[in-house]
Amino acid sequence: MIDLIPGFSLLDETARSVQLLSQMKVSDYILTFFIFSAIGWAIETIYCSLGNHRFINRGFLTGPLCPIYGTGGLIFSLLISRFWQRWYLVMLIGVAVLDCVEYLTSFLMEKLFHARWWDYTNEILNVNGRICLKHTLYWGIASLCYVYVVQSPYLQLYSLIPQKARYIALGVILVIFAADLANAVRNAMDVKSFMNKLSGLSSRLSELKNKIAVAVAIDSDSVSALSKELDDLRPEDYMNIFVDTKNSRRKPRLNRLYKVYKNLRVSAEGSVAAAEDLLGEIKRHFTDDDGEMY
């Protein structure tokens, strides 16, 4: 490897950092998880805020943490750093492991909360919209940068923190993290409930459409009761629950997730639009010449 600075070798520094890693305790690795979660949050928040010209608090949690980056930091430290003498293994293993983590995280969150939190369907060479070539390349670059550039100065700075201060910091962070995680799960369950309501709305409209078709053919008096039920259905009200209900106590939580995860917004708006189209189709097919429901 080329030494750009006289007397300084990236390989030598990396070798020393690997030795420092062997001296770390379990508590140090846990604290490292939170440190890189915070660093990842900062990078994502700055990137997204600049792109949208407004502050966006990135992440599943309310606090300044993106756990997927903390997980990446642990994987770099515990697994990938072992192969530091072969840069191509660092890159390949980093790509394979981190792609698996991202795919599994997407899969589990969708199963748990019935919502897609990110979607790479429009990206080149994606796998089920959960991972894609562009982010795979990001993981490879990140693996190389961490092992050969970031790890050594990070561990040297970390070693300057007194052990007692580390324990205190870790204890405080764990308490705050537990509270934030509980709140985040509650928020996600609200999203799950909302998405289920949207799904139920579409099912209810489809059922009403079939009932009206049968009623028109058999008993027109039944249509009046069904038409009243249709008039009571307002798909836009479902969207207002998610976004604009100013008096709703749930708005701050749901509204943040709605802004942070664009895919949630697109999915929710698409479901509402589909429900509105179906409602319009029903009303067009079952109105008389004066525009009144039968």
pLDDT over 70 (residue 59)? yes
- Average pLDDT of the residues in 99-122: 84
Q: Indicate if the pLDDT at residue 88 is higher than 50.
A: yes
Q: Is the pLDDT of residue 169 over 80?
A: yes
Domain chopping of the chain, boundaries:
10-160, 184-285
- Residue 125, phi-psi category: left (phi > 0), alpha (psi -120 to 50), beta (remainder): left
Nearby residues of 158 by Cβ (< 8 Å), 6 or more positions away:
28, 32, 35
Whole-number percent of the chain with pLDDT over 90: 21
The number of angstroms, rounded, from the C-alpha of 135 to the middle of its chain's C-alpha atoms is: 14
The answer to whether the pTM exceeds 0.85 is: no
The SS3 assignment for 126 reads strand
Q: What is the pLDDT of residues 186-221, one digit of tens each?
A: 777 777 777 677 666 666 666 666 666 665 555 555
pLDDT greater than 80 at residue 30:
yes
- 90: closest CA among 142, 33, 24? 142
The whole-number pLDDT of residue 165 equals 94
CA atoms within 13 Å, Cβ hemisphere of 5: 6
pLDDT at position 183 is 83
Cβ proximity of 15 and 147 under 8 Å:
no
Higher local confidence (pLDDT), 29 or 247: 29
Mean pLDDT within 136-142: 92
Q: What is the mean pLDDT of the chain?
A: 76
Assess whether pLDDT exceeds 60 at residue 257.
yes
